[in-house]
Structure 1
């Protein structure tokens, strides 16, 4: 029961961050960008960065939503697929943030 509640809490947090990023807000939530100096921030296209992070968070949010819906009936294989999807999603976000989001 506790795990199911935690999945819904994580889903809600991810959904809020997804909406914030896709609406063009929440740059202060991106690790590395919020601690960058002003000179380093000038080399990054913030709008593209927020779009990349929002898209990546959307994928993770949808996967967590499916896990939360399935609850205790989730097959073990789906858990492994979820781990792979989120891992690939994080790698893609990191790659795109460091290449496509530069000015």
Structure 2
């Protein structure tokens, strides 16, 4: 008889420092591109995360998977988030005013 698997559907934990490093590398790349042009060095990167989808206008929600680049930069796996890369890093939470 085969032993029960201890696998989980949850992704492995990733330290938030990894995502901060990813954002820092993106900012460094953008600064390098902008410094080579006449554009100003001050800019804003605004990204929208994934949204939950329903199936054919019913109450059935499809299995949500966050947009890969959003997870890469921010580590957020929940739907409905926006992220902006400025200093300090703000988050725009869905439904919060």
Q: When the two structures are superposed, what TM-score results if normalisation uses the length of structure 2?
A: 0.31
Bigger fraction of residues in helix: 1
The structure with the largest alpha-carbon Rg is 2
Higher RCO (Cα < 8 Å, 6 or more apart): 1
Q: TM-score, normalised by structure 1?
A: 0.29
Structure with more of its chain in strand, by fraction: 2
